[in-house]
Amino acid sequence: MTIKIGVTGWGDHASIYPDQTRPDEKLSVYASHFPVVEVDTAFYAIQPRTHYEKWLNQTPNNFTFVIKAFQQLTGHDRQTRTVQEARDLVKAYEESIQPVVEAGKVQSLLFQFPPWFDVRKEHIQKLRLIREWLEPYPLALEFRNQTWFHKKYRRQTLDFMKDYEWIHTICDEPQAGEGSVPLVEATTHPTQSLVRFHGRNIHGWNKNGRKDWRKVRFLYRYNEEELREWAERVKRLKKETKEVTLLFNNNSGGDAADNAKQLQEMLNIEYTDLNPRQMDLFQF
């Protein structure tokens, strides 16, 4: 049984980096603290293979990556594509991640769909096609539209994910209307589960005309009681799957790494196969 705790991205977690850490050193330092990371830059653009090769060289042998799907694959750009155009896009994305695949360091490929991706036939068919096109890989599925978990569809949604071996991404996030999903503590994949912590900033979750929306959306620090509740959930999840991956995304205020460390301590987890930690001369 493996529990991996990490955060989303590695650029903005000041609490784990010594002063004067250069941007190109951050992943190596990050990998001295955590065994997994989410590659969120893959959402904004299909990354060159050379980037993945560089990141592999900066991480230890057992380190793994949750790689987000490119936003055009999940429809965030709101563009209509033919099946062939979508297939070509999947091929380009698949080709880009091959260094990580060949190194055996893919934890999962995360498909996070936009708030307007609701439960309907054409969207279900899109999920079937993606699963077919990326058949060899562990795929994680995260919804941002609560219709998938309405009482009428919840059981069918989970059964669908189980039938197609999608990893159900369990989300801890504000309950702020149709563009957020409830916390559904359920596993659907034979070997993996994934939890993503988005914080509980209900007032900042939706845009509501604010220009600084993206800066405050994930502004939240989990308190000890909330993390202890999650420690109990993790203990239940680990009875159902071989691997549980937990990623903190509540980093608008720099809280993700600290909360990840707190949960790690609560679960009495000590990672021994990380990068060597740089010693601080003033720590004894």
* Residue 187, both tokens: 């596993």
Q: Is 240 helix (H, G, I), strand (E, B) or coil?
A: coil
Q: Which amino acid is at 126?
A: K
Strands (E), 9-92: 36-39, 64-68
Task: Report the candidate in 206, 233, 173, 4 with the shortest Cα–Cα distance to residue 105.
Answer: 4
Per-residue model confidence as pLDDT tens for the chain (284 residues) = 699 999 999 988 889 999 889 999 999 999 999 999 999 999 999 999 999 999 999 999 999 999 999 999 999 999 989 999 999 999 999 999 999 999 999 999 999 999 999 999 999 999 999 999 999 999 999 999 999 999 999 999 999 999 999 999 999 999 988 889 999 999 999 999 999 999 999 887 887 667 776 678 888 999 999 999 999 999 999 999 999 999 999 998 899 999 999 999 999 999 999 999 866 544 43
CA–CA dist 133, 127 (Å, integer): 10
pTM, to two decimals: 0.94
pLDDT per position as a tens digit, 140-177: 999 999 999 999 999 999 999 999 999 999 999 999 88
pLDDT per position as a tens digit, 23-38: 999 999 999 999 999 9
Strands (E), 27-138: 36-39, 64-68, 106-112
